């Protein structure tokens, strides 16, 4: 029951729903070369750590089809260049490099195959990554829904749903799984400025799934928690450091601080591909600063005076101490994360 088709491979094209145009328009873009895919990731036609991992893998596969060389060495050099382009699109999510590394490994493992067969193998690997992501969402939902009770009201930030993955989603995957178990939930979605993924995407896909969703501006969550209206928080992650620090959409840290003050459990749902054991803690995770126009404008309409200074960090880091549990496709990590994440990701 895949209600939303975020990314698909079809007739050697990559098809993505254009998330910049949601919720008012439902348009699907077709990409025939890897540069188009890289551009789509950079400009957030597709976003969400797991989804851009799948997109990068498909981008490599698509790019390989256009390589007209005869030797493996030449082929691999071109693959590396394609990977570099795709990896450079977004710095924070680790799933991009995780996916391109898998594609590189496939090349090296099958270096003796004829080039045309190797291209076929890359395509299969991209499909495999997509299938794994669908499966991973299902398992995250399975492990996660036990944390939610019938009647719970749950806050989520940004979009960690079907639109952020190839499957049912991570954080929202948990909500869908709880709902499938018959638990009735009330969901609050932070609108998530600057790009409004909560107001535009989370609200849209929760409605498509028949869930009860209420959109609030990012600055309302604290007041709602104080009034006892929020019982649980669940979010996704773009990168998880070895100590359990979480890089996720800007504003996540604020939600975690508020949840901690109100003694509300704060759950993170993400596939193990999001865990980066090479980063000791969150301070080592690169934080993308995006174009100031995302803040000065909303839907292309200017809201600030001309020439005003802007900050636009796209992510922030939530320290592990504020996280109740990390829900992955391999099981749930609870503190101490240092030890337990290593077991899951190892």
Instruction: Scan residues 137-156 and list those touching a second copy (CB under 8 A).
Output: none
| Bridge partners (DSSP) listed for residue 239 | 247
- Report the nearest approach of a second copy to the CB of residue 22 (Å): 8
Smaller CB distance to a second copy: residue 101 or 217? 217
Q: For the CB of residue 179, give the shortest distance to a second copy in the complex, in Å.
A: 16
Query: Is 224 one of the binding residues for a second copy (CB under 8 A)?
Result: yes
Residue 303's SS3 state is coil
Contact between 62 and a second copy by CB under 8 A: the answer reads no
Q: Determine, following the binding rule CB under 8 A, whether residue 200 of this chain makes contact with a second copy.
A: yes
Asked whether 95 and 131 are in contact (CB, 8 A), the reply is no
**2 belongs to the binding site for a second copy (CB under 8 A):** no
b/e per residue 237-276 (b: at least 16 CB within 10 A)? bbbbbbbbbbbbbbbbbbbbebbbebebbbbbbbbbbbbb
Nearest to 325 by CA among 72, 148, 136: 148
Question: Among residues 15, 257, 344, 345, which is the contact residue for a second copy, using CB under 8 A?
Answer: 257
| DSSP 3-state of 167 | coil
In order of 297, 301, 302, the CA distances from 310 in angstroms are 11, 16, 13
Counting contacts by CB under 8 A, is residue 25 touching a second copy? no
What contacts 65, CB < 8 A, 6 or more positions away? 12, 119, 123
Q: Does 175 bind a second copy (CB under 8 A)?
A: no
- Contact in structure between 233 and 255 (CB atoms under 8 Å): yes
Does 337 help bind a second copy (rule: CB under 8 A)?
Answer: no
245 near a second copy, rule: CB under 8 A: no
Extract the tokens encoding 116. 């045309």
Which listed residue (238, 245, 276, 316) is catalytic? 238
What the block records as the tokens of 178 is 């709880």
Give the closest residue to 241 by CA, choosing from 286, 282, 269. Answer: 282
Q: Does 263 bind a second copy (CB under 8 A)?
A: no
Q: Has 306 been annotated as catalytic?
A: no
The 290-319 contact track toward a second copy, x by CB under 8 A, reads -----xx-xx-xxxxx-xxxxx-x--xx--
Q: Which is nearer to a second copy, 54 or 256 (CB)?
A: 256
* Binds a second copy (CB under 8 A): choice among 137, 213, 237, 264: 213
Per CB under 8 A, which region of 32-40, 74-82, 173-181, 221-229 contacts a second copy?
Answer: 221-229
E strand or H helix at 214 = strand 212-216
Positions annotated as catalytic residues are 238
Binding interface with a second copy (CB under 8 A): 23-24, 188, 190-194, 196, 199-200, 203-204, 207, 212-224, 226, 250-251, 253-254, 257-258, 261, 295-296, 298-299, 301-305, 307-311, 313, 316-317
């Amino acid at each position: 029951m895949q209600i939303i088709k975020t990314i698909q491979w079809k007739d050697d094209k990559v098809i993505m729903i254009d998330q910049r145009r949601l919720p008012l328009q439902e348009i699907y873009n077709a990409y025939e070369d890897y540069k188009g895919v890289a551009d789509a990731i950079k400009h957030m036609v597709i976003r969400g750590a797991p989804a851009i991992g799948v997109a990068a893998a498909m981008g490599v596969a698509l790019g390989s089809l256009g390589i007209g060389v005869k030797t493996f060495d030449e082929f691999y050099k071109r693959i590396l260049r394609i990977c570099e382009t795709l990896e450079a699109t977004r710095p924070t999510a680790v799933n991009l490099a995780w996916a391109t590394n898998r594609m590189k490994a496939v090349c090296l493992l099958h270096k003796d195959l004829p080039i045309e067969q190797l291209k076929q193998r890359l395509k299969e690997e991209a499909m495999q990554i997509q299938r794994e992501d669908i499966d991973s969402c299902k398992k995250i939902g399975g492990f996660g829904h036990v944390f939610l009770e019938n009647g719970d009201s749950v806050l989520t930030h940004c979009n960690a749903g079907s639109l952020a993955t190839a499957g049912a989603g991570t954080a929202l995957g948990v909500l869908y799984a709880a709902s499938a178990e018959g638990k009735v939930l009330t969901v609050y979605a932070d609108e998530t400025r600057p790009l409004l993924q909560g107001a535009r995407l989370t609200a849209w896909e929760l409605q498509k799934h028949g869930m009860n969703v209420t959109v609030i501006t990012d600055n309302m969550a604290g007041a709602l928690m104080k009034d006892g209206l929020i019982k649980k928080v669940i979010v996704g992650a773009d990168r998880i450091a070895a100590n359990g620090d979480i890089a996720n959409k800007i504003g996540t840290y604020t939600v975690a601080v508020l949840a901690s003050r109100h003694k509300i459990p704060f759950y993170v749902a993400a596939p193990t591909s999001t865990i980066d054991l090479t980063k000791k803690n969150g301070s080592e995770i690169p934080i993308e600063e995006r174009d100031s126009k995302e803040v000065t404008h909303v839907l292309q309409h200017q809201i600030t005076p001309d020439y005003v200074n802007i900050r636009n960090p796209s992510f922030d880091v939530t320290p592990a101490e504020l996280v109740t549990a990390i829900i992955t496709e391999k099981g749930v990590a609870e503190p101490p994360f240092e030890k337990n994440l290593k077991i899951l990701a190892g």
